[in-house]
Amino acid sequence: MFYILYGEDDFSIHQALGEIKEGLGDAGTLAVNTVSLDGEHLTLNELRHNCNTVPFLAPYRLVVVKGLLKHFEPGTSKLHPGRAITQADGRLGEWKDLPCCIEQITPTTVLVLIDGKLNKQNPLLKELSPLAELRIFSLLRGRRLTPWIQQWVTGKNGTITPEATNLLAELIGG
């Protein structure tokens, strides 16, 4: 399984990751089989190694990578040799092999890439999108925010008045 979660709504991204974790079985054994990697300093070989490690006494291993895709945004200058793109050539460096790597990871590995707001022209995102369950989390504003607050409170078995919902939405920036 392979997921890409990105956008400006960190809260909803965190919730989505929690839902993925819930679907992978016992929280205790999953905690032992979860690794979080920093996309800022990650190499393809490190990712490959973590994705091909067999889970310990559990059905799944969860590999979460934060901040990898942002380095391939269009117009980004070269950040790390062999990894980031340049405006002129658009090369992915070693990461051009990531789609092949993902197709070969063990079925017991669940890979989740998490990032902030990304341009749809991001070359690595374009390469990986057909292989992933893609979820985009835009900030809720205006008319979409108020019903979301009401649903969230109700989902937590709480109650909130319409006035409080409107005030909260206004304070959040809706």
Query: Tokens 């019903």 label which residue?
Result: 147
User: pLDDT digits over 99-123, tens only?
Assistant: 999 999 999 999 999 999 999 999 9
**For residue 83, what pLDDT band results from cuts at 50, 70 and 90?**
very low
* Higher pLDDT among residues 51 and 89, named by residue: 51
Q: With 60 as the cut, is the pLDDT of residue 88 above it?
A: no
CATH top-level class of 2-138: alpha beta
Domain residue ranges of the chain, discontinuous segments joined by +: 2-138, 140-174
Closest CA to 65 of 135, 113, 20: 113
Q: What is the pLDDT of residue 90?
A: 53
Q: What is the pLDDT of residue 119?
A: 92
Question: What are the E-state strand segments in the chain?
Answer: 2-7, 34-38, 61-66, 109-115, 133-137
Enter the tokens of residue 30: 């999953």
**For residue 86, what pLDDT band results from cuts at 50, 70 and 90?**
very low
**For residue 174, what pLDDT band results from cuts at 50, 70 and 90?**
low
- 145/152 Cα distance (integer angstroms): 10
Q: What is the pLDDT of residue 142?
A: 78
Q: With 80 as the cut, is the pLDDT of residue 47 above it?
A: yes
Amino acid at 43: T
Using a cut of 0.75, tell me whether the model's pTM lies above it: yes
